[in-house]
């Protein structure tokens, strides 16, 4: 039957991955020579590629990820082991460190240095926050609402170190977006916050970030925050855009 079947008829099954190796090879040899069959493949491929999404997404168990990453770590270990190691801690410093009391003393010292650095950085953050009294008041007001929740915005690959939090009571139309780790923008460019309802993005304000990449904006939405499905951030020309003109930098479902 296969040999009598026209290649054209095989193409939907080729797109579905439902041909045996011999049939698939027949199609692959034929495609470069036949524009008509390539056109059929173009017609059916989109539908076939969508089919995986016809299955209900299921969240895997945490153990599955652990097993996978365990294999990956073991693989990385074997890659490392296969490489020549130029420096080895055989004697000297390494042995000196192995004395427990010294190791504890060094660990304590490291902990102290880290603590001081952390306190200093916290201090810096406090100073920064103090300079934004109005927003903080709004944030406090929002946070003190009984139904206030915080949503973490996830960065995309464009600015992977960016972070954002949206604080809002879903029943209220006010929200505070606090961001950090964003690149300071040149003159004439701003960051714009969006709330997406159904399929429609609604611009809800623009702002810039300071030299540290931190910034925040108090959002007054047209409707209660709970009416929106997604919060997102893009970079736009000063004054903002009616619709996003660049890729999303961070987003969170609401």
CB of 41 to other proteins, least distance (A): 10
CB of 251 to other proteins, least distance (A): 4
Q: Does 72 bind other proteins (CB under 8 A)?
A: yes
Residue with tokens 């951030």: 233
Among 145, 154, 165, 241, binds other proteins (CB under 8 A): 154
Q: Does 83 bind other proteins (CB under 8 A)?
A: no
Residue placing its CB nearer to other proteins in the complex, 36 or 229? 229
Q: Does 226 bind other proteins (CB under 8 A)?
A: no
Per DSSP, the three-state class of 199 is coil
**Residue closest to 184 by CA, chosen among 154, 165, 222, 212:** 212
Among 3, 21, 35, 79, binds other proteins (CB under 8 A): 79
> Rounded to whole angstroms, how far apart are CA atoms 67 and 193?
39
Residue placing its CB nearer to other proteins in the complex, 34 or 196? 196
Q: Does 81 bind other proteins (CB under 8 A)?
A: no
Are the C-beta atoms of residues 75 and 69 closer than 8 Å to each other?
no
Q: Does 102 bind other proteins (CB under 8 A)?
A: no
Q: Phi/psi at 77 (nearest 5 deg)? A: -60, -40
CB of 119 to other proteins, least distance (A): 29
Per DSSP, the three-state class of 206 is strand
Among 24, 36, 49, 222, binds other proteins (CB under 8 A): 49
Supply the DSSP string of 81-114, one letter for each residue.
HHS--S----SHHHHHHHSHHHHHHHHHHHHHHH
Among 3, 32, 60, 78, binds other proteins (CB under 8 A): 60
Residue placing its CB nearer to other proteins in the complex, 130 or 199? 199
Which of these segments, 31-39, 99-107, 108-116, 194-202, binds other proteins (CB under 8 A)?
Answer: 194-202
Residue with tokens 């539908």: 47
Per DSSP, the three-state class of 17 is coil
Tokens of 131: 């300079």
Q: Does 7 bind other proteins (CB under 8 A)?
A: no
Which of these segments, 27-35, 55-63, 107-115, 127-135, binds other proteins (CB under 8 A)?
Answer: 55-63
Q: Does 221 bind other proteins (CB under 8 A)?
A: no
Per DSSP, the three-state class of 147 is coil
Q: DSSP code of 59?
A: P
Partners of 237 in the β-ladder: 189
Residue 210 CB neighbour total at 10 angstroms: 13
Chain residues in the site for other proteins (CB under 8 A)? 1, 5, 9-13, 15-20, 40, 43-61, 64-65, 67-69, 71-73, 75-76, 79, 152, 154, 156-158, 196, 198-201, 229-230, 243-244, 246-248, 251-253
């Amino acid at each position: 039957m296969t040999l009598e079947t026209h290649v054209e008829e095989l193409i939907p099954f080729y797109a579905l991955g439902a041909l045996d190796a011999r049939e698939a090879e027949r199609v692959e040899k034929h495609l470069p020579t036949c524009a008509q069959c390539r056109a059929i493949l173009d017609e059916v491929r989109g539908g076939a590629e969508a089919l995986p999404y016809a299955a209900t997404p299921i969240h895997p168990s945490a153990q599955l990820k652990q097993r996978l990453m365990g294999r990956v770590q073991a693989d990385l270990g074997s890659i490392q082991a296969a490489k020549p190691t130029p420096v080895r801690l055989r004697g000297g410093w390494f042995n000196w460190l192995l004395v427990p009391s010294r190791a504890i003393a060094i660990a304590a010292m490291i902990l102290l240095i880290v603590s001081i650095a952390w306190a200093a950085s916290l201090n810096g953050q406090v100073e920064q926050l103090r300079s934004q009294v109005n927003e903080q008041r709004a944030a406090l007001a929002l946070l003190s609402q009984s139904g206030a929740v915080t949503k973490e915005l996830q960065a995309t690959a464009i600015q992977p170190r960016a972070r954002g939090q949206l604080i809002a009571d879903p029943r209220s139309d006010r929200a505070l977006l606090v961001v950090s780790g964003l690149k300071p923008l040149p003159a004439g460019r701003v960051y714009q916050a969006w709330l997406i309802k159904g399929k429609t993005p609604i611009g809800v304000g623009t702002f810039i970030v300071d030299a540290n990449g931190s910034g925040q904006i108090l959002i007054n939405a047209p409707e209660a925050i709970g009416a929106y499905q997604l919060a997102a951030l893009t970079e736009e020309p000063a004054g903002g855009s009616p619709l996003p003109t660049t890729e999303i930098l961070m987003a969170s479902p609401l």
